[in-house]
Amino acid sequence: MANFCRAGVLVIFILFSVDVDYGSAKCPEDYRYRVEMCVMEAQVAPQAGGGLPLITDSNKLEELCVRGILQKTIDCLRDIYDRCSNNITQKQELDMLFSVEEWKHGQTLLCEDLNLFKNHFDCVSKFGPRISSCILVRTQLFKKAVTDAGIAHFRTLHDITCNFAQNIVNCLERPLARSCSLEVVDTMVSALHRFLPPACAPVPALYEAEDEQMEDTRSTAHQDEQHEPMIYETVIVEGGDGGN
């Protein structure tokens, strides 16, 4: 199988910039980074540019479901949540980043019938290069949008990040839905939506052109100026390569 071009973004999270009391020894000071590391291992979260291995790696579901990588991710997220939920500010932030219950539902969707994916892998895998290119383009546009926005009102970066996540799902769904089993496509897309941050639900409207997206975010930022400004930060952890 050809080496597919992989997007350089592994993890993207929208994070509040807040003052946090780290007096409690239970919650690690680097809890945000630990959440990122939990999610990175599974490579299924759309906001992390994930999902592509599901259609390019025939062993990915076995790794996630049989070898327990997905359960390890869920346990990792649950551990951080349990350790940090005594602090209301940290709990509210984590509630925006992930839902353990939603991740468990996504696990059930992906893992309850491994043969469903195995039986249709030949169909979905042939779209790997096209989907990989789509993800790479979306990732580059996302990076530019975040760079242009800088430190902005939370709604601006929220919309940029959540639009990116949904566009990754669209990169996967649209070509597959035209040619492959709707059951396997619907199952995969439903699972990927479970891995989205709760802050991205409901997902904002999608914009195919970068200038339309930026015009919308500028308009939204103007509306936000009428309210108390809230600093939002998007953290990007890069990995992988962009080569063929």
Tens digit of each residue's pLDDT (9 = 90 or more) over 143-197: 888 888 776 666 777 788 888 888 999 999 999 999 999 999 999 999 999 999 8
- Which residue reads 């696990």 in tokens? 107
pLDDT-wise least confident of 107-116, 132-141, 221-230: 221-230
Q: Where do we find the tokens 């999608």?
A: 206
Cis peptide before 129 (omega within 30 of 0): no
Q: Are 197 and 163 in contact (CB under 8 A)?
A: no
Q: What is the SS3 string spanning 188-199?
A: HHHHHHHCCCHH
Span 106-113, average pLDDT: 94
Give mean pLDDT, residues 193-213.
62
Coil/strand/helix, residue 238: strand
Domain boundaries, the chain: 28-221
Question: pLDDT-derived band of residue 46, with 50, 70 and 90 as boundaries?
Answer: confident
Has residue 20 got a pLDDT over 70? no
CA separation for the pair 243, 75 (Å, rounded)? 33
pLDDT score recorded for residue 153: 66
Q: With left for phi above 0 and alpha for psi between -120 and 50, is residue 150 left, alpha or beta?
A: left
Q: What is the mean pLDDT of residues 35-64?
A: 89
Q: Which residue has the tokens 């940090």?
A: 84
